[in-house]
Amino acid sequence: MTDPAAPHRLFHPAREEAETASQQTLAPQTADPAYRLAFQDMDFLLRQDLRPVRFQLELLKPELLLDEAKIRSTFVFYGSARIPEPSKADVLVETAATDHQRRIAERLKANARYYDEARKLARLASRAARGEAGWRDFVVCSGGGPSIMEAANRGAADEGAESIGLNIVLPHEALPNDWVTPSLSFQFHYFALRKMHFLIRARAVAVFPGGFGTMDECFELLTLIQTGKIEPMPILFFGRDFWERVVNFQALVDEGVIAPRDLDLFTFVDTAEEAWEHVAAHYSVASV
């Protein structure tokens, strides 16, 4: 007996239609850009008035692929792209040509230990057991670049775990680091959409010493929690000495521009173990 149910698809798949369109006979009409399928017309897609569509695509593509990869939650790592791996820190000092460069190199060398702490924390996060139906939690997510970001992805790789890299198109080349999982390596045009994807699945955030980019990301996160736009989560600032030297948090309270309780939105930590214990306690999960 014939199944009376309607077929799963009534229309041909878009990929099939695109292949058919590419084989059409050349004529003045088919050669004109106006005849291209809209989703194959790069000149059309890159028009300024198509920006809202590009926003939607940049939001949707990683969201779909992360769902397909069964990634339920992430452990986000923010931090400098300039702090060297400890084994390479001495080279910066040795090659410094001026006293100023040497002072900077010495500071970077002093902070190089955070590379190791980021790598260790990523290992701990990557040991989290899979949940029901294979969904994964605390998947390491970084900006996909060098330094602290590299250390995070590298730590996940140490455990044989996949990790996410969210790269951004910059005027100078910024390739993903070697430890980002290729199928979870994304590239963004819009900083705003990239920052959204850092936080959509985030359940904990480690903030290592960093510059404008790190501060931009972590202070937006603090603002979102402060204003009740997202639920509180563990926010772990590595290196109290660094952060209290570059940001006078208490002065913000003293000036009345933040409330004393806002200082409770984040926690200072020094080691990966301390950070993971805080996360484990917050979510009542077993330490690893």
Query: What phi-psi label fits residue 50: left (phi over 0), alpha (psi between -120 and 50 degrees) or beta?
Result: alpha
pLDDT in tens, 90-149: 899 989 999 999 999 999 999 999 999 999 999 999 998 788 888 999 999 999 999 999
pLDDT at residue 147 in the model: 96
Global confidence as pTM = 0.91
First-residue to last-residue Cα distance in the chain:
57
Low-confidence residues of the chain: pLDDT under 70: 1-9, 173, 287-288
Cβ-contact 265, 235 below 8 angstroms = yes
pLDDT in tens, 213-225: 999 999 999 999 9
DSSP string, the chain: ----SPPS-SSPPHHHHHHHHHTSPP-HHHHSGGGS-GGG-HHHHTSGGGHHHHHHHHHHHHHHHHHHTTB--EEEEE--SSPPPHHHHHHHHHT--SHHHHHHHHHHHHHTHHHHHHHHHHHHHHTPPP-GGG-B-SEEEE-SSSTHHHHHHHHHHHTT---EEEEE--SS--PPPTTS-GGGEEEES-HHHHHHHHHHSEEEEEE-S--HHHHHHHHHHHHHHHTTSS----EEEE-HHHHHHH--HHHHHHTTSS-GGGGGGSEEESSHHHHHHHHHHHHT----
pLDDT at residue 3 in the model: 63
Domains, the chain, with CATH or none: 58-84+119-282 (3.40.50.450)
